[in-house]
Amino acid sequence: MSTTISGWMMTEVKKPMQEQSYQIDAPAAGEALVQVAGCGVCHTDISFAYMGIQTRKELPLILGHEISGTVVDLGEGVDPSLKGKAVLIPAVLPCGECELCRAGHRRICRNQIMPGNDRHGGFASHVAVPARYLCRIKDEILADHELWQLSVVADAVTTPFQAAKLAELEKDELAICIGAGGIGIHGVQVAAGCGAKVIALDVDDNKLEMAKAAGAHTVINVGGLSSREVKAKVKEAAKEMSAPKFRWKIFETSGTKPGQETAYSLLNFGATMLVVGFTMDKVEVRLSNLMAFDARLIGTWGCDPTLYPEVLDWLATGRIKIKPYAEKHPLADINKVMDAAHEGKLSKRAVLIP
Alpha carbon distance 157, 141 (integer Å): 15
**Domain identity same for 220 and 102:** no
CATH code of the domain covering residue 141: 3.90.180.10
Cis check: omega of the bond before 80, within 30 degrees of 0: no
Mean of all residue pLDDT scores within the chain:
96
**Domain identity same for 22 and 114:** yes
Q: Could you read off the pLDDT of 297-335 as tens digits, one per residue?
A: 999 998 999 999 999 999 999 999 999 999 999 999 999
Positive or negative, the CA dihedral 208, 209, 214, 220 is positive
- The yes-or-no verdict on residue 111 having pLDDT over 90 is yes
**Domain identity same for 180 and 264:** yes
Alpha carbon distance 88, 189 (integer Å): 20
- Residue 50's pLDDT band (boundaries 50, 70, 90)? very high
- The yes-or-no verdict on residue 169 having pLDDT over 80 is yes
Domain's final residue, options 281, 299, 317 = 299
**Domain identity same for 291 and 307:** no
In 207-306, beta strands by DSSP E: 218-221, 249-252, 272-275, 296-299
Domain housing 145: 3-155+303-353
pLDDT at residue 302, as a whole number? 86
pLDDT at residue 260, as a whole number? 97
CATH code of the domain covering residue 293: 3.40.50.720
Q: Could you read off the pLDDT of 231-252 as tens digits, one per residue?
A: 999 999 999 999 999 999 999 9
pLDDT at residue 181, as a whole number? 87
- The yes-or-no verdict on residue 153 having pLDDT over 90 is yes
pLDDT at residue 2, as a whole number? 85
Alpha carbon distance 326, 186 (integer Å): 11
